[in-house]
Chains A and B, each alone.
Chain A
Amino acid sequence: MSSVVVVGEVDGNEVKDVSQQVAAVAAGMGDVVGIVMGKNIAEAAMKLSTSKIIIAEDDTLENYDPVRFSSIVTQVVEQTNATRVLMGATTMGKDLGPRLAAELNWGYLGDCLEAGDEGFVRPNYAGKVLAKSNPTNPVVVSIRNNAYPAGESWSGTVENFSGNIPDSNLTTASIEKIGAGTVELTEANIVVSGGRGLESPENYEEHIRPLANALGAAAGASRAIVDAGWVPHSHQVGQTGKTVTPDLYLAIGISGAIQHLGGMSGSKFIVAINKDAEAPIFKVADYGIIGDLFEIVPVLKSKLDN
């Protein structure tokens, strides 16, 4: 069997969900070797569900650096004779994947929705077209969060990375945390998004954020209200914003423009609350409520609080 390298990521004391999902996909492809890079990560890294785990710990790896991380994974690939590298389509994965593919002289498939023996499926045109391929040559693949169930956390054999960590011109000066304590959009199981129907930024704060908090959800937005400056671009869902695939997506006062749908139509369940029965969002919603959001949302919030 050929071998597959999984690039794992940790978050605090745990392996990221998406990394466990990727590990589960890789398990069906061959012998799997996990590589986790960072500083003080060994304990968390050991939870990656691959039969063998290589841990690269160093002060210089505290923050993601494309030059260093790509070189380390390249060395692991050479050492294991792997023909595939899989990783989560996180901000790191989407950055590392293509650089690594160039370094290895391999193909690259980014942000895949399906990955397995029957091939890979990735979105084109903001998900409006699905492109299927079945590469026979070696590839680096990043896989979207929530595309697959996570592998069980268990420990395989652990080894320390013994290769060389190159110098890099990049220095991470700091990490600026934004919205500490809130849930990250692309990793959320539930997303509550608001649009122009809210009428004002104050109403976003009054109706969307508290509802998101009540559900343990991330708060998202349409481009209309990002452009209006009500919320930062990091909230934007859609073709020129983030792509989200939660279990539940609530679109509140959002019309459902094609560019918005591109970022959320992969959600498992969609709920739309809109006063216009003709709004295109209802064409993709599993459950729709036609009505005034200012009447519906407060009731919803108070029922969920109980």
Chain B
Amino acid sequence: MNIVVLVKMVPDTESRLEIVDGKVNESGFKYMVNPYDEFAVEQAVQFKEASGGKVTLVSLFSNDTSIDTDLRKMMAIGADEAIVLRQDGYRGDRPSANAKTISDAISEMNADLVIGGVQGIDYYQGATGPMIAHMLGIPHVSGVTNLEMNGEKFTAKRQIEGGLQVIECSGPVLITCQKDMTKVRFPALKDIMMSKRKPFENREVSLNEGNDVNTDECSLPPARGGGVIIDGESAEEKVDKLIEKLKTEAKVL
């Protein structure tokens, strides 16, 4: 089986978010592999271990090579090779243009399975996966918490309101992973060493026109003023005051 894993590099969750002139100051950002994409890598490697094939990581990013170490870690999990699409002026908030660039690159790879995370923890659009699937002319299943493979057939359980939608399909298909899908392994030292010898291709790509909506202005959400601390002599008194406030002030009870 030929598996392509989509890996997005996203700003670390501890990154300081500062707004300058209506834009997020990204200059101090450090990038890491999007946590949801790690589940995809692990799942792809498990399929390969079960029934053979090849796992290729595909990532679209800028010319910044500080991400290479983190991507190598994904190869230590068991991916066979990485193709990094290097784009001058890359931005993570252009799902339409980025989907076009990525689908152009993977269309000739004849993947049976294209798999990635359900969303990037930067812009949370969850858009690139379904867009790529449409551009490749294949179906997709998003937010999958469990994926099984039986020969040519996949069974995906997708999180929906109140339960799971169990979907069967044959490849090629694009899947996006929800958090519970797999438990990502810690690679052994020898796998980390081996990963350094695996093929790692940097491929220049040009900027694509997409249909993305430009952001006019970014702002920090209005700080929620800390409210009141409800005091009282006893638990009972505190609870009475709370219920009173929820009924009369907040009017939510």
Contacts and interface: CB of A to CB of B under 8 A. Distances in A.
Contacts of B217: 131-132
A275 to B, nearest CB: 12
Contact of A233 (B13, B124, B178): B178
Given A98-B125, A175-B165, A233 B139 contact: no
Nearest to A292: B235
Interface stretch (B1-9, B59-67, B154-162): B154-162
Contacts of B243: 300, 303-304
Contact of A98 (B93, B95, B167): B95
Given A125-B17, A126-B124, A282-B226, A98 B216 contact: no
A20 interface: no
B193 interface: no
Interface residues of B, number: 82
A175 to B, nearest CB: 6
Nearest to B171: A169
A283 B131 contact: no
A81 interface: no
Contacts of B230: 287-289
A172 B219 contact: no
B252 A168 contact: no
B242 A271 contact: yes
B231 to A, nearest CB: 8
Nearest to B178: A233
B interface: dominant SS: mixed
Contact of B242 (A64, A234, A300): A300
Contact of B218 (A124, A190, A234, A296): A124
A39 interface: no
A127 B123 CA distance: 9
Interface stretch (B77-85, B105-113, B141-149, B195-203): B141-149
A286 B236 contact: no
A240 B35 CA distance: 8
Interface string A43-82: 0000000000000000000011011001000000000000
Nearest to A227: B179
Contacts of A137: 211, 213
Contacts of A38: none
Nearest to B172: A169
A132 B219 contact: yes
Given A124-B218, A169-B139, A240-B179, A289 B238 contact: yes
Contacts of B142: 66, 94-95
A241 B179 contact: yes
Nearest to B215: A131
A121 to B, nearest CB: 9
B78 to A, nearest CB: 23
B89 interface: no
Given A99-B134, A176-B157, A271-B246, A128 B139 contact: no
B125 A289 contact: no
A29 to B, nearest CB: 16
Nearest to B237: A299
Nearest to B221: A130
Given A99-B133, A283-B226, A172 B165 contact: yes
B211 A101 contact: yes
Nearest to A268: B252
A205 to B, nearest CB: 20
Nearest to A168: B139
Query: Which of A97, A105, A129, A184: most chain B CB closer than 10 A?
Result: A129
Nearest to A186: B161
A23 interface: no
Interface of B: 11, 13, 15, 17, 19, 24, 35-36, 93, 95-96, 99, 121-131, 133-135, 138-143, 145, 155, 157-170, 173, 178-180, 211-221, 224, 226-231, 235-236, 238-240, 242-243, 245-246, 250, 252-253
17 contacts: A94-B143, A95-B130, A102-B99, A102-B135, A108-B131, A110-B127, A170-B141, A171-B168, A173-B166, A175-B163, A175-B165, A265-B221, A282-B226, A283-B224, A284-B226, A285-B226, A287-B230
Interface of A: 11, 63-64, 66-67, 70, 90-92, 94-95, 97-99, 101-103, 105-111, 119-120, 123-135, 137, 139, 168-180, 184, 186-187, 189-190, 215, 232-234, 236, 239-241, 247-248, 258-259, 265, 268-271, 277, 282-291, 295-296, 299-300, 303-304
Given A105-B211, A172-B167, A234-B159, 16 more contacts: A91-B160, A94-B126, A98-B127, A110-B124, A124-B122, A131-B215, A135-B213, A139-B213, A170-B168, A173-B166, A233-B179, A240-B35, A259-B13, A270-B227, A290-B231, A303-B239
